Amino acid sequence: MGYRLDEIDKRIIYHLMKDARNTSAPQIADDVSVSAGTIRNRINQMQEHGILIGFHANVDFERSEGYLTNLFTCTAEIVHREEIIQRIFAISGVINVRELMTGRGNVQIKAIGKDTNDLARIARELTNIGIEIEDEGLIRNERFQPYQKYGPDKERSQLSMTDLISLSGESDVVETVISADAPIANKTLKEADQAGLIGDELLIIAIERDDSILTPKGSTRIQPNDVVTVFSRKGVSDQSLQGFTEQAPG
Q: With helix as H, strand as E and coil as C, how does the chain read?
A: CCCCCCHHHHHHHHHHHHHCCCCCHHHHHHHHCCCHHHHHHHHHHHHHCCCCCCCCCCCCHHHHHCCEEEEEEEECCHHHHHHHHHHHHCCCCEEEEEECCCCCCCEEEEEEECCHHHHHHHHHHHHHCCCEEEEEEECCCCCCCCCHHHCCCCCCCHHHCEEEEECCCCCEEEEEECCCCCCCCCCEHHHHHHCCCCCCCEEEEEEEECCEEECCCCCCECCCCCEEEEEECCCCCCCCCHHHHCCCCC
Per-residue pLDDT at 158: 40
Higher-pLDDT residue of 246 and 48 is: 48
CATH number for the domain whose boundaries are 7-55: 1.10.10.10
CATH hierarchy code of domain 158-245: 3.30.70.1450
Digit-coded pLDDT (tens) for 157-166: 443 455 555 5
Residue 154 has pLDDT above 80, yes or no: no
pLDDT at 168: 53
Domains 7-55 and 61-138 alike in fold: no
Q: Across the chain, what does the average pLDDT equal? A: 85
Asked if the model's pLDDT at residue 211 lies above 90, the reply is: no
Q: Could you state, in order of their start, the residue ranges of all structural domains in the chain?
A: 7-55, 61-138, 158-245
pLDDT band, residue 70 (cuts 50/70/90): very high
In this model, does residue 82 exceed pLDDT 70? yes
pLDDT at 216 over 60: yes
Pick the CATH number of 61-138 from 3.40.50.20, 3.90.850.10, 3.40.50.11140, 3.30.70.920: 3.30.70.920
Q: What mean pLDDT is predicted for residues 2-27?
A: 88
Mean pLDDT of 161-183: 69
